[in-house]
Amino acid sequence: MNVLIIGGTGQISTSLTFKPANDGHDVTIFNRGERSVPVPEAVRVVNGDRDDPVTFRALAAERVYDTVFDFICWTPDHARADVEAFAGSCGQFVCISTAWKDVFDALGRVLGEEPVYASLPAEYIIEKFPERTWPFRGVHQFAIEAWDHMRALTRPEGPATRA
């Protein structure tokens, strides 16, 4: 299997980098190269900035990936870039993230809402998701319309939500 991990050296993504590589899959990680985290020798490391559209699209165009994992999709623009780069050219696309306080602060300012720091109850998510798919790590409406293979699972928990 040909796997692309956008990120690949962070708290969560490092373990995902090791598992498929150790199982013999072809793994590529794409990140800025600012962390000195050891990865298996077989892992192909591509350094670049996901905010550079030329570099990001080139990464998507150079090969077909069976699965793409994005651990650094933090804004609607990042999601849009993912859809533009990978729609129709990968088997599965998975966006994984945690909800840290600073992320909610920034998104709250963008959305004009007060950030929510406590664990988000399911009722709140169900109520808000149709009108604002962001910041719930869901998929923005444009992405759903652009790519019917994209699905979202929202679990708003992590260090910032545990009191």
Parse the chain into domains and list their residue ranges: 2-97, 99-135+153-163
Closest CA to 43 of 32, 23, 59, 27: 27
Query: Would you say 39 and 8 are in contact if contact means Cβ atoms under 8 Å apart?
Result: yes
Q: State the Cα–Cα distance between residues 156 and 59, nearest whole angstrom.
A: 30
pTM listed for this prediction:
0.63
Q: What fold does the segment set 2-97 form as a domain?
A: Rossmann fold (3.40.50)
Per-residue pLDDT of the chain (163 residues; tens, 9 = 90+): 999 999 988 877 888 888 899 999 999 999 998 888 888 999 999 999 989 989 988 999 999 999 999 888 877 677 778 888 888 788 888 777 654 444 445 444 544 555 544 445 556 555 655 555 444 444 444 444 444 444 444 444 444 444 4
